[in-house]
Structure 1
């Protein structure tokens, strides 16, 4: 069957090349038809052809099956996470049994207003303890330093230190999310998935398959779909100050439907995917008078450097109800090309229709000459 399909494809390509020579001015200079045919046959040896059947559908489903449970905090190191203070953060300090060292909460004042801000030099100043290093330190380290200093004037001080305003560190979520903006890094670990959720999730125009993640001068592509659909927790990231998460548009997420359909063109994939039946339906369906129901092909580019295969070609025999069920279950990928061939008689008629204008022109010239 694969050999038959390759022969069919070779015939299509050969006819396309030789057909070009029928039209004036369509010949490619410097390329002989014989060379084109030889090169084409060599390239087709690198094409992997498969029939769309229940076995292939089963392979697709197994490949998409999630292998691990999904959690936004799994796959990133949050167990040892500790927030480190920075310039602009505000802390409050309370000392048990020493109300004179604890600022009482005012009815019209906030904890942030009454708190102690980490200054530009990275220090915090408190009673009996001036210029305590804070920036780059955890809250536990600040508390320990504060206890040591207060112990000089207070016996066994019981100190409580809390962060009441996180101002020093932030991450950015941009692009196609519902609420793009700046999101603070706090004492609660913030992952890439959490940040997207806080930004309201993806918009309808978002590329749900990948996002770009930038830290410093390094940018990487995060496979978002692998996380959501397949449970690949390695795609998650624990965000740090200055990280940028950008969600692109899905303009390039489309397939192309060509050949003998009623409305050839591109069809967009949505975030829930697109199957072969939907793509054909969105293209107006097959041309019932001329299309070959056994000639529905899906061409998918392959990584030739890794696999040695230029493209994977899938063929659907759509002359029975079972085949339509298979088409509904065959998931397409971005940049797939769906091509519907014409029936042999229709192809012959098309060749004749191309030749008729030339024959008519010759007949007219003969008539003029005869007169």
Structure 2
């Protein structure tokens, strides 16, 4: 009799333990508000703390407008237009000037008429000066061609009666900007008398490469970094994203390696997905992995886990907590119920952000079946032992 009691205890023990630990992972937010050190369900204090440090937002039709990312629209850029209208190139060291004195060819091309303007022109020296006959060294750095023309005219008037002077830049070599990263022809681009904008620089660099991140272009000016979106500029016509480039600017186009989301849980093909330049919605992500597992998934538990990475991403969650509470929040969790397939329309309006985790939790029956699947081999083994003992006794 004692032997059978031991067998019963051995069989019952895995069942009792299974009530505490369920095989596999799942996301349960039923007791998110728990605040005790050890609740009745056996959750540890660490798990309770994690649940207290996340915010849960249901994705419903009436609240979708709160979470929806504003779409960029076509806009004009009056500030840029004003800068372009007032733009004047200022000469710098390394530029080559072409100075023409009408009716005085000996001063215009002293080296001969068969040389190009850049070869026979006046080189701006490192100290910002050029040498010109009769008047010697003249400071031209940081001056426009109009200012240089007026200055040369005034100085030459002492030697030539009513001189007719024309000045233009034969070669632009002093001022440059840099285009780096995922463009087809990265490198330096010289700034000329034609204003150079961000869009012009990208086009001159051969356009964006295949793996370029369209949405997170950086413009670094005097050590200050500014983030811009070429997607908004080139695909949506938002001209406020365009900039007039200045000498020393660095435009960097990063790779889209960071543009990824993780789809896990009870889906047909869990995988890492890349967000393309048009973005990715929750429904698109689910479709890309073959949808949810209809036999194992809990259709009410489609979750998007978004880490609180405030230095990189902007949360779409409504702000209704204190700054201290927000600082302690480790993640925002968005829940979509697609037990009614029409709710997938809501998912098309929810735009995923880099490093989002889309998790489809398991249905309760699936978790129970996993528990039974672990218990059955143990029960079967004890049954075999019992039958063997009975045969021995009968023999």
Task: Give me the TM-score of the superposition, normalised by structure 1.
Answer: 0.79
In the TM superposition, 1:197-236 aligns within 5 A as 197-215=203-221, 218=223, 220-224=225-229, 228=233, 231=238, 233=240, 236=242
Does residue 307 (structure 1) correspond to residue 338 (structure 2)? The answer is no
SS in 1 for 2:44: helix
Does residue 58 (structure 1) correspond to residue 65 (structure 2)? The answer is yes
Does residue 174 (structure 1) correspond to residue 180 (structure 2)? The answer is yes
> Which of 154, 158, 161 does residue 155 from structure 1 map onto?
161
The answer to which of 184-193 and 332-341 deviates more is 184-193
Aligned to 1:259: 265
The answer to which of 146-155 and 104-113 deviates more is 104-113
SS in 1 for 2:248: coil
1:11-30 per-residue CA deviation (whole Å, 9 max, x = no partner) reads: xxxx9984479xxxxxxxxx
Task: Give me the TM-score of the superposition, normalised by structure 2.
Answer: 0.75
CA distance in 1, matches of 2:21, 2:60: 34
Does residue 129 (structure 1) correspond to residue 135 (structure 2)? The answer is yes
Q: Give the superposition deviation at 1:359.
A: 4.1
SS in 2 for 1:54: coil
Structure 1's 76 and 62: CA in aligned 2 closer, same or farther, altered over 3 A? Answer: farther
SS in 2 for 1:64: coil
Aligned to 2:352: 332
Cα contact 2:219–2:228 (8 A) shared by 1: no
SS in 2 for 1:333: coil
The answer to which of 85-94 and 70-79 deviates more is 70-79
Structure with bigger RCO (C-alpha 8 Å, 6+ apart): 2
Q: Give the superposition deviation at 1:33.
A: 6.9
Q: Give the superposition deviation at 1:59.
A: 3.9
The answer to which of 279-288 and 94-103 deviates more is 94-103
Q: CA RMSD of the aligned region, Å?
A: 3.5
Q: Give the superposition deviation at 1:271.
A: 0.6
Does residue 146 (structure 1) correspond to residue 152 (structure 2)? The answer is yes
Structure with max Cα Rg = 2
CA distance in 2, matches of 1:357, 1:75: 76
5+ residue gaps, structure 2, are 1-17, 25-36, 311-322
Structure 1's 284 and 76: CA in aligned 2 closer, same or farther, altered over 3 A? Answer: farther
Aligned to 1:37: 44
5+ residue gaps, structure 1, are 1-14, 22-31
CA distance in 1, matches of 2:237, 2:345: 24
1:97-141 per-residue CA deviation (whole Å, 9 max, x = no partner) reads: 444443399986433223222124422122322211123332233
